[in-house]
Amino acid sequence: MLVNPVVFVYWVVSAVAAVLYFSGTMRAGVLGVSLVDESLGPVFGLLGGVLLGLVTWPFVLMVVWWGRRAYLRRVGTPVTATVIESGRRVTTTENNPFATHRVRLKVTFTHPSTGVEYWAKKEFAMAEFRRSTAKAMLHQFPIGAEMPMLVRGRAGGFDVRHRPQWVDLW
């Protein structure tokens, strides 16, 4: 497996970014309500800020994902990996009527600099309304299929257009 200690840093940065973003949207909501009508109070401002954050956060993540992928395309070395494990499972909870489709992929590839063979695995989580995307991804990458990857030093990632979970930018 290609081990990269920077992944933990990405997780921490993602969590801190989420906290800062939501605190910023809550402050913007309170400020916006106080500018419009002070009689509404800060509670409506906080609720509006949280709603604003929930609606816009996926778009922020999409931009960060596109930027990270563009960076690795610019500085990384493209390699072809072979899918050795592929699967999809659907998870639901009792309190939540929405399902999550999880596509798991495990690949092997040869590092372009060292010639050593490594493996990498990734789980993509997609909401119920993206079920067809999850099925198409699984159909596109069955066992034995080739998959594009980008490798730079000890970091490697799948070169796919689907953004992963919010805490896992790569």
Question: In the prediction, which pLDDT does 81 show?
Answer: 93
Question: In the prediction, which pLDDT does 162 show?
Answer: 64
pLDDT digits (tens, 9 = 90+) for 36-72: 666 666 777 777 788 888 888 878 887 877 887 888 8
Q: In this model, does residue 25 exceed pLDDT 80?
A: yes
Helix then strand then coil, % of the chain, to nearest 5: 50, 30, 25
Q: Which residue has the higher pLDDT, 40 or 79?
A: 79
Q: Which residue has the higher pLDDT, 32 or 101?
A: 101
Residue-wise DSSP of 92-106: --SS----EEEEEEE
Say whether pTM exceeds 0.75. no
Question: In the prediction, which pLDDT does 107 show?
Answer: 92
Looking at the chain, how many residues does it have?
170
Mean pLDDT of 89-113: 83
